Structure 1
Amino acid sequence: MSNTYLDTLFGLKGKVALITGGSRGIGKNMALALAQAGADVILVQRNDSDAVKKEIEAVGRKAYIVVAELSDRAQIASVVPQVEKMGLQIDILLNCAGIQKRHPSTEFPTEDWDAVLQVNLTTVFILCRDVGKHIISAGRKGKIINVASLLTFQGGVTVPAYAASKGGVAQLTKALSNEWVSKGVNVNAIAPGYIATDMNEALIADPTRSRQIMERIPAQRWGSPADFEGAAVFLASNASQYISGEIMLVDGGWMAR
């Protein structure tokens, strides 16, 4: 199998990816994977920290930062116009940023519900809408990748807002795919299982819950951010041209149990 064939199938040279949540964890690994595959990267961050930008540039790709607070609708709506003013054309959108709030449902604060739904679902919608229009109006093809969750399929415990937001991400992904795949924009999602990141620190620190989780994962380990690199490149590349509206589980076999 030649490198030329693999480059044609999986290579992203000449593509530009807009990424949220790329400064740490799963998002950082996926951002670096897309860069390794040849894409230039625009990082949407709440500040201008250039640590990941430098790592992307170290693999020979261009990297840019757009500063925007994901909880602020006006700032999110300004992202694509800022990119266009930079003279860049977006080919790939990766919505990875997300937040989590844990409370018993009888005591779940409305303000925490609003915060989670804003970042995890409404912001995802705004960026999908604006990037979708940006790609389609230019007559180009593109890929949108949202990040869902096991709680897209399951309810979880003490996380009603997160579960609702990730269920919404799945339905949004399917709805946009129905409209856009015929226009050349594939819309899919990746659903992580239990991954050893800071979002799951509370679960990892709970010996009983951590043991229960490990016992159910057929792979017999928590996932790592590196486990998402191949999935991101696959869904961003030509290899997935006839795949749209799908939720790809990366969960060590959890949902098959």
Structure 2
Amino acid sequence: MLLKDKTVIVTGGSRGIGAAVAIGCAQHGANVVVSHHSNADEVVAAIQALGRGVVAVKGDVADPATGSLLVQAAVEHFGGVDVLVSNAGICPFHAFLDMPPETLKRTMEVNLHGAYFVTQAVANRMKEQGRGGSIIAMSSISALVGGEFQTHYTPTKAGVHSLMQSCAIALGKYGIRCNSLLPGTILTDINKDDLADLDKKAYFEKRIPLGRLGQPEDLVGPAVFLASDMAQYVTGAALLVDGGMFVNLQ
């Protein structure tokens, strides 16, 4: 119960990593505001079954107003906000030379601008509350390495990581900690089509020292740790959660 009675906002919380983290935070005693773009019924039901408070807010994180709506929901239902997990993101794989401007723009708006706007809204509320807080951005191993069909995606994840570093400085005076998680290859809806290629899937598994692709649940422990008081002196940090893939040069 590392997050007992804390209120956590999770963007992109209806599926994949976001859903796993939202449910995992509830398992550790948190009330959860689930931000989603389509439907969050399954996650809401799972959290309710744990006996924790939950509210779902539909919206587009690329819209600056969404951050304010999420904070408003947290305040109205649970009295405030203690943790933000900025997780919402998209990755429509595409070649570089003929990348449609709309694809680049939308990826930037959701992944980077969305993280910025929601972080800003939550940080302002945390400052008003005067009790600090924890902001966690879901970056990616892609912040550190390139991808042929991710020229629009990798810059956003590097940007999210950089955003947390700068926010750690800007918000430290208010007791607000800002860190990023860098997942490796995690089996989610974003890459399920890409990894349907069994040869490619086998290649990734071979590259990972722990011998398997990641599951969304693998991000729960790291997220809960950074959200909790156990990480009270951790800010501006980045934690790779990739099964050792990044360090494997073989």
TM-score higher than 0.5: yes
In the alignment, structure 1 residue 185 sits paired with structure 2 residue 171 = no
Alignment partner of 1:21: what SS? coil
How far off its partner does 1:201 sit? 1.3
Instruction: Look up the match of 2:80.
Output: 89
RMSD (CA atoms): 1.6
Answer whether contact 2:112 2:157 (CA < 8 A) is retained: yes
Instruction: Look up the match of 2:196.
Output: 205
Answer whether contact 1:69 1:76 (CA < 8 A) is retained: no
Answer whether contact 2:61 2:118 (CA < 8 A) is retained: no
1:15-38 Cα offsets, whole Å, 9 max, x none, are 100111111111111111110111
1:128-163 Cα offsets, whole Å, 9 max, x none, are 111011001221110001100111101111111110
Q: TM-score, normalised by structure 2?
A: 0.94
How far off its partner does 1:49 sit? 4.0
The 2-side partners of 1:175 and 1:188 are apart by: 10
Q: TM-score, normalised by structure 1?
A: 0.91
In the alignment, structure 1 residue 173 sits paired with structure 2 residue 164 = yes
1:193-232 Cα offsets, whole Å, 9 max, x none, are 0111121113311233222212211111101112111111
How many residue pairs match? The answer is 248
| Residues 47 and 194 (structure 1), Cα distance of their counterparts in 2 relative to 1, 3 Å cut | closer
In the alignment, structure 1 residue 156 sits paired with structure 2 residue 147 = yes
The 1-side partners of 2:69 and 2:221 are apart by: 30
Instruction: Look up the match of 2:113.
Output: 122
For 2:111, give the aligned amino acid: N
1:62-85 Cα offsets, whole Å, 9 max, x none, are 101122123333444443245445
In the alignment, structure 1 residue 67 sits paired with structure 2 residue 58 = yes
For 1:103, give the aligned amino acid: H
The 1-side partners of 2:224 and 2:78 are apart by: 24
Farther off after superposition, 71-80 or 222-231: 71-80
Unaligned segments of structure 1, at least 5 residues: 1-6
The 1-side partners of 2:142 and 2:15 are apart by: 21
In the alignment, structure 1 residue 80 sits paired with structure 2 residue 94 = no
1:166-211 Cα offsets, whole Å, 9 max, x none, are 0100100100001112321110111110111121113311233222
Farther off after superposition, 80-89 or 242-251: 80-89
1:104-125 Cα offsets, whole Å, 9 max, x none, are 1100111000100111010100
In the alignment, structure 1 residue 39 sits paired with structure 2 residue 30 = yes
Q: Percent identity?
A: 34
Answer whether contact 2:9 2:74 (CA < 8 A) is retained: no
**Structure with the higher helix share, 1 or 2:** 1
The 2-side partners of 1:50 and 1:211 are apart by: 34
For 1:178, give the aligned amino acid: I
Alignment partner of 2:153: what SS? helix
